[in-house]
Amino acid sequence: MKRRVLLSGSALGAFGALGVTAPAQAREWTWSATDPRTIFDPEADPVSAELLDTGVVPEVNRLLWTWTRNDQPLPAGLPGYLVDFIEQARQLPSWADTAKLERAAQFNKSRGLYLNLLNGVGGGMLSTAIPKEAWSVYYSKGGADMEDRVAKTSLLGFSVGALNAYRPDGDCVVNAVKTRLVHAAVRHLLPQSPHWKWGPIISQEDILVTWHTLPTYAMRKLREWNVPITAADSQAYLHVWQVTAHMLGVRDEYIPATWAAANQQSDLVLPPNMGPTREGVELTDILLSQLAEQTSPGSVGRPLVNALARYLVGDQVADWDAIEREPIWGPLISRLWPLLVRFREGLIPLPLVPEAAWVIDEAVRQYILFFLTKGQETRIDIPTINRPE
């Protein structure tokens, strides 16, 4: 199926610096397709609803715990309708390009430091400034245990950036399919919460909004930092995220076909979907406290993390998230980070440097997961409840 994005009219303005003010407002969708705010996941939604309504989710989670590789057969004992869904959902799209996926893995290998920082810290701060996402996280089961929630979210992010992401021995397909089932379960459960008052959630547009806080945001920041990127590497990085969007249930006609289309779509959907919330501020505080403990415990940790987060997302998003301004660390990071990037990029072409960088970046990833999970093995699983009272 050929992917396409047909955009008409002007975008909502440059959003690369994430420093614009655009309150939520009614708007017309500009693609020649059904408005993605009205579409959810008609394949996954009835599956998760049936699992929840029949009370079999704990047993399903137990069985799926052992399903960890892209090429691995499903465990015996799963309901037939779930097997049918997963076998269909685990298929890569016909337009997936193995060569581009392999090139994306090599790009992640040499640029992992930046991408982990942008997708983890930057993307995390952007997500808490998206009201619908902040509300859905806060009032779902994961909101009561953010370390576990972040660890499980990180599993998918790390899978996309892994060297074997979509190879047979990788786990990106597994984690994407499980995430689809989780999204469907949250759509089914949250309307039952006494705190929920915002209507249907995790629409096709909602997924795209979050998607743009990852690859689109990351590529814009890499360009802003003058990180040298070849056209082939840029296209490969976009492609791995295009495939991931498909695997998460996004319709192909909504997936940006080019970086120009991605930037236009980001400018269309991000500004009206962002702003401050009490829940977002609380989630931000939890996330930054966790990060501070991971990086530099003690009095230095939180001010340093505050300054880094504000540098990554800009003042407006940082203000929405109530991230404190740091008069010492803020100017220091603003001056030193560009120098660090230039220094690091001078080393990348040397022999063995990409391999060494990957070893360091992988160690950081594993350390973060170990910290968040307290050393306990974790998997993405389907929730059965909302946030406990």
State the Cα–Cα distance between residues 104 and 160, nearest whole angstrom: 9
Of 211, 256, 230, nearest to 119 (Cα)? 211
Closest CA to 128 of 270, 15, 281, 288: 281
Q: Which tens digits make up the pLDDT trace of 227-254?
A: 999 999 999 999 999 999 999 999 999 9
- Cα(174)–Cα(165) distance, integer angstroms: 10
Domain range for residue 287? 40-373
Task: Give the pLDDT score at 377.
Answer: 64
Report residue 386: phi and psi, to 5°: -85, -175
| For range 325-344, the mean pLDDT | 87
**Per-residue tokens: 1:** 């199926």
Kindly state whether residue 380 falls inside one of the protein's structural domains.
no
Q: From CA 330, how far away is CA 306, in angstroms rounded?
A: 8
Of 10-24, 181-195, 269-283, least confident by mean pLDDT is: 10-24
d(CA 138, CA 208): 20
Q: Would you state the pLDDT for residue 33?
A: 64
pLDDT tens column, 59-100: 999 999 999 999 999 999 999 999 999 999 999 999 999 999
Segment of 10-14, 27-31, 184-188, 327-331 carrying the highest mean pLDDT: 184-188
pLDDT score for 10: 30
**193 within some domain:** yes
Residue 388 lies in a domain: no
At 264 the three-state DSSP class reads helix
CB contact set of 121 (below 8 Å; sequence gap of 6+): 291, 305, 308, 309, 312
- E strands in the chain: none
pLDDT at 341: 83
Cα 17 from Cα 302, distance rounded (Å): 23
Q: What is the mean pLDDT of the chain?
A: 84
Closest CA to 272 of 31, 25, 9: 25
Residue 371 has pLDDT above 50, yes or no: no
Distances in Å between the Cα of 118 and the Cα atoms of 135, 139, 308 are 22, 26, 11
Over residues 122-127, mean pLDDT:
92
Q: pLDDT at position 351, please?
A: 65
DSSP annotation of 256: -
The confidence score (pLDDT) of residue 354 equals 56
Give the number of other Cβ atoms within 10 Å of residue 359's Cβ.
Answer: 12
Structural domain includes residue 217: yes
- Residue 20: what pLDDT? 34
64 CB-near residues (< 8 Å, 6+ apart)? 75, 78, 178, 379, 381
Per the domain annotation, does 2 fall within a domain?
no
pLDDT in the model for residue 230? 97
8-64 per-position pLDDT tens digit: 223 333 333 343 333 333 334 455 468 999 999 999 999 999 999 999 999 999 999
- 24-38, 51-65, 176-190, 360-374, range with the lowest pLDDT: 360-374
DSSP state of 386: B
How much is the pLDDT for 236?
98
> What pLDDT does 212 receive?
98
Separation between Cα atoms, residue 348 and residue 344, nearest integer Å: 7
| C-alpha span between 153 and 220 (Å, rounded) | 22
Whether 23 is covered by a domain: the verdict is: no
Q: 22 in a domain, yes or no? A: no
For the ranges 114-128, 149-163, 224-238, which has the lowest average pLDDT?
149-163
Q: How many domains does the chain have?
A: 1
Q: Has residue 29 been placed in a domain?
A: no
Strands (E), 123-250: none
Does residue 337 have a pLDDT over 90? Answer: no
**If pLDDT is split at 50, 70 and 90, which confidence band does 293 have?**
confident
Structure tokens at 290: 């966790």
- pTM, two decimals, is 0.86
